[in-house]
Structure 1
Amino acid sequence: MTHQAIDREAFNPSTALAVQTVTRVRHLTDRLFSFAISRPPSFRFRSGEFVMVGLPGEGKPLLRAYSIASPAYADELEFLSIKLEDGPLTSRLQHIRSGDPVYLGRKPTGTLVTDALLPGRRLFLLSTGTGIAPFMSLVRDPDVYAHFAEIVLVHSVREVADLAWRDVLEGQLAGDPLVQDEALLQFHYLPTVTREPFRTQGRIARLVESGILFERVSGPRRFDPEGDRVMLCGSMAMIRDHAADLEARGFVEGSNSRPGQFVIERAFVG
């Protein structure tokens, strides 16, 4: 396979890319897979950030931004990806196996970080599809539990099989070495499915409008800019609609240089 041709000696500490090794691959469905790679000892990131990952292309590396799903303390970096047969990168990346080399960017970045939010009481993480990935890092970060009294992770997908990390999240992160005690009291997981029967059905907008989103948390049964903070990650349509809704409710979008009451990852949505 062509991705086996990466030259492990063709980089040095001054280059933008390093070569890392695939440590495991998990195929969730015929449309979705996760993979983990070795982590350089010098690689540091903030929970919620993304980094460039890729394979050799025609004349230059073929790279794509992937949100890091791993907690900041992990020895490996995990990512979640869709499978596209005609995708320039994913058509090949979906066939990687343990032991294969991949490119890893050296500079993680992003706005789905707590630094881009003002202090608040409730943190809502609203995701669709692979947009759950950065939130998997955030919900395993002790600092998040220190900054917010309650954390709500919503994951909306088409089919039940698309609920990545469902077993871990339904167990309220039991076994996590750093946050399991806090998660039992502060963390809430709300999966919802749109195209087949499930205990919670419908898009995130329905959960907001009906009040289902707020049933497990204390406080108002609506978004409140005074104490609520929101992160959005997923389809462009979801982000556009919910960003507009939040702004109509008085929320102000934040950034690394100017924290606000909600954030999106603009590197992904343009």
Structure 2
Amino acid sequence: MSYAVQTSDISKFPIPSGVFVEKVISVEHYTDELFKFRITRPASFRFRSGEFVMIGLPNAEKPVFRAYSIASPNWDEELEFFSIKVPNGPLTEHLQKIKPGDQVLMRKKPTGTLVNDALLPGKRLWMFSTGTGIAPFASLIRDPETYEKFEEVILTHTCRTVAELKYGQDLVEQIKHDPLVGEFAGGLRHYCSVTREDYEFQGRITDLMVSGKLFDDLDVPIISPKVDRAMICGSMDMLKDTKEALEGFGLNEGANNRPDTFVVERAFVG
């Protein structure tokens, strides 16, 4: 049975306090498991690029909320999200069927550790992502502040299949022509790898880091705590392994109240 949260449905259920009710502007499906959507942005809503919010639908007395990184930068007049489709998932089985004009709930308080303020100054910023973990970096690579703080930004994106890379590839191509950040695009590099199909670069990002192939492919020095900073977002296994790899290079984990050489987003799994 098809499911949609029509505007008229909003009156059927009480809206929790501390929640915005926003309208879906657009939806784009990339694969059977990945899609993005954009919603209206409340006039009073402020966030730092890289943060996440709790998203839900007005389809129950007690709606289910899940953490979603905001993929749009903090200057955007709309809010963008990049999502997986989980069969029988309490939220995504419905969320994946939204259409323009439908309603989405969003809690009012953004948070997260993948923000520029949580890192010490450096020369090169690495963004390590798998799957929909690219979402917070989609926000950060569209924020001029990122390029003001770092001379070079390297976004890595590892997926199972080539088709799953398209969201990031389209985004990076669009940035080159963006009137606000296009002039900084020369400092942005995008490294894609896949694990289950033939592709130019293959393998888990941690294996490519430890073997040194990642650095050879990009023709950059091995990660050093003197000049390199890093952010990690992806599956739990990826977070653990990438964190260990970075610590092996001498980097230390930081936080909003204690900036250091790398940060991890543990609230997100994708």
- Per the normalisation by structure 1, the TM-score is 0.92
Contact 2:52 2:111 (C-alpha < 8 Å) held by counterparts:
yes
Shift of the alpha carbon at 1:200?
1.2
DSSP 3-state at the match of 1:266: coil
Mapped partners of 2:80, 2:159: distance in 1: 20
Shift of the alpha carbon at 1:96?
0.3
Contact 1:188 1:216 (C-alpha < 8 Å) held by counterparts:
no
Mapped partners of 2:233, 2:259: distance in 1: 17
- Equivalent position amino acid for 1:257 in 2: N
Counterpart for residue 250 of structure 1: 250
- Equivalent position amino acid for 1:175 in 2: H
1:174-233 CA distance string (max 9 Å, x none): 22121111112x11001111111111111102321343433476752x111111101000
Q: CA RMSD in A?
A: 2.0
Instruction: Please list every run of 5 or more consecutive structure 2 residues that lacks an aligned counterpart in the other structure.
Output: none
Name which of 129, 138, 156 aligns with 1:127: 129
Mapped partners of 2:61, 2:160: distance in 1: 37
* TM-aligned CA distance change 1:208 to 1:55, over 3 Å: same
Shift of the alpha carbon at 1:244?
1.5
Counterpart for residue 191 of structure 2: 190
Contact 2:125 2:150 (C-alpha < 8 Å) held by counterparts:
yes
Mapped partners of 1:20, 1:46: distance in 2: 19
Is 2:176 the partner of 1:165?
no
Counterpart for residue 259 of structure 2: 259
Of stretches 50-59 and 69-78 in structure 1, the one that deviates more from structure 2 is 50-59
Shift of the alpha carbon at 1:172?
6.9
Mapped partners of 1:10, 1:154: distance in 2: 42
DSSP 3-state at the match of 1:7: helix
* TM-aligned CA distance change 1:21 to 1:46, over 3 Å: same
1:135-186 CA distance string (max 9 Å, x none): 00101111110110100000000011101231232x37222121111112x1
Counterpart for residue 223 of structure 2: 223
Instruction: Please list every run of 5 or more consecutive structure 1 residues that lacks an aligned counterpart in the other structure.
Output: none
DSSP 3-state at the match of 1:72: coil
Mapped partners of 1:241, 1:227: distance in 2: 21
Of stretches 90-99 and 206-215 in structure 1, the one that deviates more from structure 2 is 206-215
| Overall identity of the aligned pairs, in % | 53
DSSP 3-state at the match of 1:33: strand
Mapped partners of 1:257, 1:106: distance in 2: 21
- Per the normalisation by structure 2, the TM-score is 0.92
Counterpart for residue 147 of structure 1: 149
Counterpart for residue 200 of structure 2: 199
Mapped partners of 1:233, 1:154: distance in 2: 10
- Equivalent position amino acid for 1:154 in 2: T
Mapped partners of 1:227, 1:160: distance in 2: 31
Mapped partners of 1:38, 1:215: distance in 2: 43
Counterpart for residue 95 of structure 2: 93
DSSP 3-state at the match of 1:77: strand
DSSP 3-state at the match of 2:246: helix
Contact 2:130 2:234 (C-alpha < 8 Å) held by counterparts:
yes
